[in-house]
Amino acid sequence: MDNKTVKVASRLCMTKDLGVSGNLFGGNLMAWLDEVAAIFAIQITGEDNMVTMHYSAMTFKHPVKERDIVDFYCGRIRRGSTSITFEIMGQCCGKTVFCADAVFVAIDRDGKKKKIEWDSKPLTNREENGNGQ
Ligand SMILES: CC(C)(COP(=O)(O)OP(=O)(O)OC[C@H]1O[C@@H](n2cnc3c(N)ncnc32)[C@H](O)[C@@H]1OP(=O)(O)O)[C@@H](O)C(=O)NCCC(=O)NCCS
């Protein structure tokens, strides 16, 4: 278990991202979250084909408005045999907008799960130099 979290990416909430309430549409936030989580899973494992397996329950605690920037942090990694589990958190205007556990699984060219060769993979800068947020 690695307790560090690092900022992986940020997204600007634009007019096209809003829902009928005037807040960031939840489906857009989930799409951003899944893309950022996939980037993190690929970079940490060194596997080029990782698929979303599971997300824990997600609660949207604060609205995101037009022109707000959402910062995505990932960390608290748990290494599995074919999977990686980690926390992904979104922050905006100093508040945590959501937090969830993500599970990604490595697959081969046939779409079958495969073992992650943790020992043969060099640590990425993200893992080595986590900024300890
Ligand atoms: C990814 C896939 C090949 C895995 O095959 P599978 O036979 O279902 O795999 P398993 O049930 O053995 O689970 C694989 C790993 O995920 C973990 N896992 C599975 N379900 C989980 C859950 N609900 N919560 C946490 N971890 C879970 C298992 O513990 C296992 O981890 P480990 O090997 O590190 O111990 C298959 O489920 C699949 O193709 N799913 C679709 C993925 C996809 O298309 N995602 C895109 C978004 S829909």
Which atom number of ligand 1 is nearest to the Cα of residue 116? 34
* Ligand 1 pocket check for 18: Cβ under 6 Å: no
Q: How far is the CA of 55 from the centre of ligand 1 (A)?
A: 11
Domain residue ranges in the chain? 2-125
**Order of strands across the sheet with 69-79?**
2-12, 69-79, 83-92, 95-106, 50-55
Residue nearest to atom 19 of ligand 1 (CA): 53
* Ligand 1 pocket check for 81: Cβ under 6 Å: yes
State how far the Cα of 90 lies from the Cα of 72, in Å rounded to an integer.
5
pLDDT in tens, 47-106: 999 999 999 999 998 999 999 999 999 999 999 999 999 999 999 999 999 999 999 999
Q: pTM for the whole thing?
A: 0.92
- Which pair of structure tokens corresponds to residue 93? 């205007």
How far lies 32's CA from each of 81, 111, 122, 126, 132, in Å? 26, 23, 27, 19, 23
Domain topology for 2-125: Thiol Ester Dehydrase; Chain A (3.10.129)
